[in-house]
Amino acid sequence: MMAHVCETSEQYLDHQKYIDRNKVAEKNNVSNTVSYSAVAAADSLNAEAIVTPTVSGFTARLVSKYKPSSLVIATTPDEKVQRKMQILWGVKPLKADRKNSTDGRHGGSMTAKQYLQQAFQMKKKIAAILLLYQNQKQF
């Protein structure tokens, strides 16, 4: 019941107005700017997806808060993080090896590339934004 209410009301959300309002209210830091830019680029290019590898889910949460109209594919090596990301707006969390989470060179789990090919199999070309970001504190 609650899922139906959410899905119905989300159809009437003006994504651009929501993004613009949040951009003004947010602090100007690198994390917010990169996330906002990925969502804005996806909207501008009519991209079907934003792909972001994440270890903690932080990047996926930042992108999700701007309520993108594109699908957000978040790859993570941690099953616990994968489960937590299932409640984020528009996020499809995928379990992936840490070093190969977007390119498909590993065995056990579906990669973002494989998911995109499967989800959008009717299209010959898929526009997607790949968001790679490393926190400045880690340098």
Residue 41: which CATH number? Answer: 3.40.1380.20
Q: Which domain holds residue 74?
A: 2-138
Quick one: tokens of 113? Answer: 């590339």
**What is the model's pLDDT at position 102?**
47
**For each successive 10 residues of the chain (139 residues), what is the average pLDDT?**
70 66 63 86 88 90 89 91 92 78 47 69 66 59
Please name the helix (run of DSSP H) or strand (run of DSSP E) that holds residue 128, with its range, or none: strand 128-130
Long-range contacts of 94-97 (CB under 8 A, 24+ apart): 96/53
Number of domains making up the chain: 1
**What is the model's pLDDT at position 43?**
87
**What is the model's pLDDT at position 57?**
93
Q: Write the burial class of residue 100 (CB in 10 Å: 0-12 exposed, 13-18 middle, 19+ buried).
A: middle
